[in-house]
Amino acid sequence: MNAIISASELASDLAGPNPPVVLDIRWQLTLATADGAAPFDGRAAYEAGHIPGAVFVDLDAELAGKAGDAGRHPLPDPEVFGAAMRAAGVSEDRDVVVYDGGAGWAAARAWWLLGWTGHPSVRVLDGGLAAWSGPLSTEVPSPAAGSFVPVPGARSLLDADGAAALARTGLLLDARAGERYRGEVEPIDPVGGHIPGAVSAPTTENVTESGEFRAAAELADRFKSLGATGTSEVGVYCGSGVSAAHQVLALAVAGIPAALYVGSWSEWSRDGNRPVAVGPDPQ
């Protein structure tokens, strides 16, 4: 099954006899500002208007564990995640479509987690809510409880040591902005730079100006130019395992399997004993 779905395809599926469960994962990374501006409120955005029937899922509370030594968005407790998915109406035998405000990062995190825990049919709305031309609703649904029980392990997962090894033996892609990879700026984590051997591959280059994924062949060419030859393992990390999930999704669209380092730079950089590379070159 294709990992993404167009807005027109979703509208058709919702009007059909077996509509998918739709999850709204609107979320934005919020940095501290001098003027004390309020952080983005995904639930408020959802309540102001969402795809009819969609259920809101909180990324920080339900798609991640508590921030700490394992990073800013470590894996959630399977029981917490499973309960949230069942409350949203998710079952193993029903398709799921996830979307966010348009960047696709948060939706991809939900896509990756559901796939990693064994759900067989999850797709991301290509272009997010911005691509949806149908009506919006302010009605908060009360779905019947689903039956999904997470069984982790269906997708490849890296820890810090595994990421370091893959950077030496395969291809480890850094999905953050280039200036963070090079160590020129670091607005969030303790130190700037990248895992030695990792290749810079900003997630933003996987999509068009309108926010939709580039064609599969174009993505395949991009990843081939970065070193994904089909003969070596591929892994991805970012700041905290959110935008990297979007990169894993783009690789899936291109037909390239890849592992996710969930702890990512927010875990790596907290350990002063781990090496840090700076500059434009992997080493």
> Helix 105-116 vs helix 243-253: angle between axes, to the nearest 10 degrees?
70
Q: Which of 238, 244, 254, 260 is catalytic?
A: 238
- Give just the sign of the alpha carbon dihedral 114, 118, 119, 120: positive
- From the list 185, 191, 158, the residue with the least C-alpha distance to 264 is 158
First to last CA, the chain: 37
Q: How far does CA 214 lie from the centroid of its chain?
A: 17
Active site residue 143: no
Rg of the chain (C-alpha set): 18
Q: Locate 184 and state its tokens.
A: 């020129």
Q: Tell me, what amino acid is at 121?
A: S
What's phi and psi for 68, nearest 5 deg?
175, -145
Neighbouring C-beta atoms of residue 250, cutoff 10 Å: 28
142 CB contacts (<8 Å, ≥6 apart)? none
C-alpha to C-alpha distance for 234 and 228, rounded to whole angstroms: 7
- Give just the sign of the alpha carbon dihedral 160, 164, 169, 174: positive
Catalytic machinery residues:
238
